[in-house]
Structure 1
Amino acid sequence: MNYLILKALHIIFMVSYFAGIFYTVRILVYYKDTDDFENPKKDILRQQYAFMAHRLWNIITVPAGTLMLIFGMGLIFINPELLKMPWFHIKITALIALAIYHYWCWKKVIQLQKLNQQSLPSKNTALRQANEIATFILFFVVFTVVLKYALLEYWKQLTLSFVGLVVLISLVVKFVNRRKK
């Protein structure tokens, strides 16, 4: 029973963490969108977006990520056999990619605080594309956990399907961005 409770808490905080990560990068995109605005609108929006990113990161994203990690470690502690399972190694690899992405987001939030309402040096299209990285990691981790042992048996089909999904989402994002212009 304790294992199932920890698993439920792990999933709840995973959802909260990803919500925070998704919205953090979206705020960066909105901040960058203000480049073409006139003052005082530009300054007001930039100040608000910087405030929102800082609060979101420190009040939702980092605490949810920390609790997600603690409950995940609790699952490993209760069931150390997880460490011997091949699908779990794949999940850990994806989580390392997520940690790198988290670090990138954290640096961007700090950069936003230091800009003092100046423009982000990143290109808007790069930020929009970076916004999709967390989506791909989320898809990858969820499919890895749900499919577990089927990953080993059907890895070619699953890899092609995942690559197809990444391409499809990327094309949809590009199409939507072109229509906005």
Structure 2
Amino acid sequence: MLYLWLKAFHIIAVITWFAALFYLPRLFVYHAMAEDTISQERFKIMERKLYRGIMTPSAVVTVTLGIAMLVVTPAWLSMGWMHAKLFLVVLLLGYHHACGRLLKRFAADDNRHSHKWYRWFNEAPTLVLVGIVLLVVIKPF
């Protein structure tokens, strides 16, 4: 029963984290296109609040609950699909960190990318999400 509670809240945290992972780079697209100071300052506030108030806490909860599920069900760690999933989670944490670095560049008015670059950057978590869902549902290894 504990595992099911952990799993339910893990899924909720994952959804919240991915919502932020999809939205923050979209804000970067609009921020990169903004030309007036008022809009740029507004984007800085929105990006900071999203990253610190939603994205990072939901990542921490996601990882914490994921670890708790592995503690409750350690047999998952011997399965290949779980190794692949954990690799994708590590990539996602790297993407999260990259978003934080980009956020700092925007905050310092030091953006080095075009809005088109951010549009492509915004697609990366989608690929990871597809991979994770397929691994968890199909368990191919």
TM-score range, shorter chain: over 0.9
Q: Which letter maps to 2:25?
A: V
RMSD: 1.0
Instruction: Tell me which residue corresponds to 1:87.
Output: 81
Consecutive unaligned residues of structure 2, counting only runs of 5 or more, are none
> Which one-letter code corresponds to 2:70 in the other structure?
I
CA offset digits 1:122-172 (Å, max 9, x no partner)? 122211100000111111101110111xx24xxxxxxxxxxxxxxxxxxxx
Cα distance, 1:99 vs structure 2: 1.5
Task: Please state if 1:73 is matched with 2:64.
Answer: no
Does 1:22 find its partner at 2:22? yes
CA contact (8 A) 2:30 2:115 kept: no
Identity %: 29
- Name stretches of at least 5 consecutive residues in structure 1 with no aligned partner: 153-181
Q: 1: distance between equivalents of 2:57 and 2:97?
A: 15
Q: How far is 1:111 from its partner? A: 1.3
Deviation of the 1:63 alpha carbon: 0.4
What TM-score do the two structures reach when normalised by structure 1? 0.75
Which whole-Å CA distance do the structure 2 matches of 1:107 and 1:130 have between them? Answer: 13
2-structure distance, mates of 1:46, 1:144: 40
User: 111, 116, 131: which is aligned to 1:120?
Assistant: 111
TM-score (norm 2): 0.96
Question: Does residue 12 of structure 1 match 2:12?
Answer: yes
Equivalent residues in 2 for 1:90-169, closer than 5 Å: 90-115=84-109, 120-148=111-139, 151-152=140-141
Distance 1:90 1:80 in 2: 16
The aligned residue for residue 41 of structure 2 is 47
Q: Which stretches of structure 1, 4 residues or longer, exceed 2 Å deviation after superposition?
A: none
Aligned length: 141
CA distance in 2, matches of 1:59, 1:103: 15
Measured against aligned partners, the alpha-carbon deviations of 1:98-140 in whole angstroms (never above 9, x if no partner) come to 111111101011111111xxx6211222111000001111111
Whether the 8 Å contact between 2:10 and 2:66 is mirrored in structure 1 is yes
Greater RCO between the two (CA within 8 Å, min separation 6)? 2
The DSSP-based 3-state class of the residue aligned with 1:104 is helix
- Per-residue CA distance 1:79-115 (angstroms, 9 max, x = gap): 1111101110110111121111111101011111111
